[in-house]
């Protein structure tokens, strides 16, 4: 490729285009102004979405990445612009979301002088990024940006931050695009070094009477959904999902049994305690999945497949650890498996599912003439109206767990939520990013009255971009999940969890977004249909039961045997 003399700012934009970027989210400021000035010339190739807060930009980049499988991109100025990204960067780190964050910095010769809007962004972000780097001269731009995208999406994905000094944006450089090549190029596929372990894993599976597959987000990140189902079908093995693995397997598949963990389904958690073999694919055995690790899966041997060696034996000891890309490992495992009926195992599972339906699902979903509505009824109605084809984005709290439990999915990359960090305010901007990433799909954000108000200003982003996003606010006038814990474990001492809320529909109307509020079950179906059929953004506020709890529930730190419902 022929060299081209450009400014550092233009070199950055050309780099983004060379990386296949077409959409990014950001907020301008003084120090990053040369980049935004140059962006004025590139609006035909780069669609910049102006958010209303930098945290909205990084969450939108996350939502875009999670919905598309591409690297999300966001930009912010120096100082407070950069520090406002930190929560989203930390969220992306824990949830292995590939994003590249571009922040400005003061002039190189002013670093360390407490210059206006100077913050040590590099030091601040070291703990929450896969890699970060400060560009101090324009000649660095092309190679550093190529490396940034490589690092963000390779191996276990994650966030990368590039700090861009003011002088580097305006200096001239001879731009030449070169793909990044790591110093050590591995000629073999990652599973080769574990090739001898795959037959051992197959033998364990073939000998097992009560195996189960736990599907984590690593299955989604490696595009191994088809291969996971292939293993399950070849060996006649039931699958369950972590919170972050939801939608990797269609919820109506006969081998899919639901979600594990603190607010997971009854059957998967009881299966875990009864199983003699767990095949864990792309998951990290988080505390929300395992509960008390000393009492976790007491009868099971564990095969752990993951691309990150650091996850092996970190929380739960495993018998076989296979390091590698989940897709590649499963492709090699499948031919070695034998079909087994496992009649008694599936009978046990069916008994647990029937018990949950009787004790839990009917309690939430039964038609009612009460003036209040269950969150489960709302989520279930959305699933039914959308026929399992929508992308569901949630904020964090009770509604998140109801969304995980009662949504239905026919397609992968359809459930987007904040898992590891549990970030309130994530939902609305992440949904904006997701909709920009997959504009032809229906995107519905389900949020609570608490989380919604943490990023409510992003309604302005929706108004300006005319994005067709459906917003469902489940309003119980409480910080619902905290209130539930206060009820169960703090003697109903509701300390600062009750909320006095504004009129959300009127606020939406101020942003030229039509809305509707309901409080009766008989209004629910018609209102959801009206929302989905509306051409454009729409807000549906549902007044739900103020003291409803999400069950089943495993108390924090308790054994999976200790299920409350």
Domain-located, residue 475 = yes
Rg (CA), the chain: 24
Q: Which of 149, 175, 201 represents a domain boundary (last residue)?
A: 175
Q: What is the C-alpha to C-alpha distance for residues 10 and 533, in angstroms, rounded to an integer?
A: 42
pLDDT band at residue 507 using 50, 70 and 90 as cut-offs: very high
Q: What is the C-alpha to C-alpha distance for residues 295 and 291, in angstroms, rounded to an integer?
A: 8
Domain-located, residue 244 = yes
121-151 b/e (C-beta count within 10 Å ≥ 16 → b): bbebbeebbbbbbbbbebbbbbebbbbbbbb
Token code pair at residue 188: 């073999």
Helix (H) / strand (E) element for 117: namely none
CB 350 within 8 A of CB 230: no
Helix segments in 357-468, DSSP class H: 362-365, 375-386, 398-406, 427-437, 449-454, 459-465
Q: How many domains does the chain have?
A: 3
CATH number at residue 448: 3.40.50.970
Strand order in the sheet with 320-323: 256-259, 239-241, 211-215, 277-281, 301-306, 320-323
How do residues 485-505 score in pLDDT, each as one tens digit? 999 999 999 999 999 999 999
Averaged pLDDT for residues 334-338: 97
CB 191 within 8 A of CB 329: yes
User: Under 8 Å CB-to-CB from 229, ≥6 apart: which residues?
Assistant: 239, 249, 253, 255
Are residues 463 and 537 both part of a single domain?
yes
pLDDT band at residue 364 using 50, 70 and 90 as cut-offs: confident
Are residues 115 and 19 both part of a single domain?
yes
Report which of 565, 440, 459 is spatially closest to residue 512, judged by C-alpha positions: 459
Domain-located, residue 187 = no
Token code pair at residue 417: 């939520």
Domain-located, residue 185 = no
Are residues 437 and 324 both part of a single domain?
no
Are residues 205 and 167 both part of a single domain?
no
- What 3-state class would DSSP assign to 526? helix
Domain-located, residue 250 = yes
Token code pair at residue 546: 């103020």
CATH number at residue 335: 3.40.50.1220
Q: Is the peptide bond before 469 cis (omega within 30 degrees of 0)?
A: no
Are residues 159 and 308 both part of a single domain?
no
Query: What pLDDT is attached to residue 358?
Result: 83
Helix (H) / strand (E) element for 175: namely strand 172-175
How do residues 99-131 score in pLDDT, each as one tens digit? 999 999 999 999 899 999 999 999 999 999 999
Please give the residue range of the domain that contains residue 59.
4-175
Are residues 220 and 139 both part of a single domain?
no
pLDDT band at residue 506 using 50, 70 and 90 as cut-offs: very high
Rounded to the nearest 10°, the torsion over CA 243, 248, 253, 259 is -10
Are residues 333 and 384 both part of a single domain?
no
- Number of neighbouring beta carbons within 10 Å of residue 338: 12
Are residues 317 and 433 both part of a single domain?
no
């Amino acid at each position: 490729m022929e060299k081209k003399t450009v400014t550092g700012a233009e070199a950055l934009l050309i780099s983004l285009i060379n990386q296949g970027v077409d959409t990014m989210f950001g907020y301008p400021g003084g120090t990053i102004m040369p980049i935004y000035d140059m962006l004025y010339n590139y609006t035909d190739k780069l669609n910049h979405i102006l958010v209303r807060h930098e945290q909205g930009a990084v969450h939108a980049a996350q939502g875009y990445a999670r919905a598309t499988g591409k690297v999300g991109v966001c930009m912010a100025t120096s100082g407070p612009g950069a520090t406002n990204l930190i929560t989203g960067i930390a969220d992306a780190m824990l949830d292995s979301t590939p994003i590249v964050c571009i922040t400005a910095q003061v002039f190189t010769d002013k670093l360390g002088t407490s210059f206006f809007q100077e913050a040590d962004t590099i030091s601040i972000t070291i703990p929450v990024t896969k890699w970060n780097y400060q560009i101090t001269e324009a000649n660095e731009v092309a190679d550093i940006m190529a490396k940034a995208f490589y690092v963000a999406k390779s191996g276990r994905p994650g966030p990368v931050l590039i700090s861009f000094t003011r002088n580097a944006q305006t200096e001239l450089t001879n731009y030449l695009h070169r793909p990044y090549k790591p110093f050590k190029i591995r000629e073999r596929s990652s599973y080769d070094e574990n090739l001898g372990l795959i037959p051992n894993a197959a033998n364990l599976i073939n000998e097992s009477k009560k195996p189960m597959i736990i599907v984590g987000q690593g299955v989604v990140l490696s595009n191994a959904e088809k291969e996971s189902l292939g293993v399950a079908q070849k060996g006649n093995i039931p699958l369950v999902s972590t919170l972050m693995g939801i939608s990797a397997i269609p919820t109506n598949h006969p081998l899919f049994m639901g979600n594990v963990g603190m607010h997971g389904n009854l059957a998967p958690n009881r299966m875990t305690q009864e199983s003699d073999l767990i095949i864990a694919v792309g998951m990290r055995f988080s505390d929300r999945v395992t509960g008390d690790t000393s009492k976790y899966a007491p009868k099971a041997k564990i095969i752990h497949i993951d691309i990150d060696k650091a996850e092996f034996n970190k929380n739960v000891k495993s018998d076989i650890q296979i390091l590698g890309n989940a897709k590649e490992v499963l492709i090699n495992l499948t031919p070695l498996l034998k079909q087994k009926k496992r009649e008694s195992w599936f009978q046990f599972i069916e008994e647990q599912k029937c018990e949950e339906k009787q004790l839990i699902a009917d309690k939430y979903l039964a038609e009612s003439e009460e003036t209040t509505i269950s969150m489960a009824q709302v989520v279930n109605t959305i699933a039914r109206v959308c026929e399992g084809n929508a992308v569901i984005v949630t904020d964090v709290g009770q509604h998140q767990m109801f969304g995980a439990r009662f949504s239905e999915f026919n397609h992968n990359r359809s459930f987007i939520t904040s898992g590891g960090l549990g970030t309130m305010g994530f939902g609305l901007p992440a949904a904006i990013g997701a909709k920009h990433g997959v504009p032809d799909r229906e995107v519905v954000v389900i949020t609570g009255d608490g989380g919604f108000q943490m990023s409510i200003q992003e309604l302005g982003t929706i108004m300006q971009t005319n994005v067709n996003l459906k917003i469902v606010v489940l309003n119980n006038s409480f910080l619902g999940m905290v209130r539930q814990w206060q009820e169960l474990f703090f003697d109903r001492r509701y300390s600062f969890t009750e909320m006095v809320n504004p009129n959300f529909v009127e606020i939406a109307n101020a942003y030229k977004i039509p809305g509707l509020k309901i409080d009766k079950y008989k209004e629910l179906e018609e209102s959801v249909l009206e929302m989905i059929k509306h051409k454009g953004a729409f807000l549906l506020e549902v007044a739900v039961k103020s003291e409803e709890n999400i069950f089943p529930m495993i108390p924090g730190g308790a054994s999976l045997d200790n299920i409350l419902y």
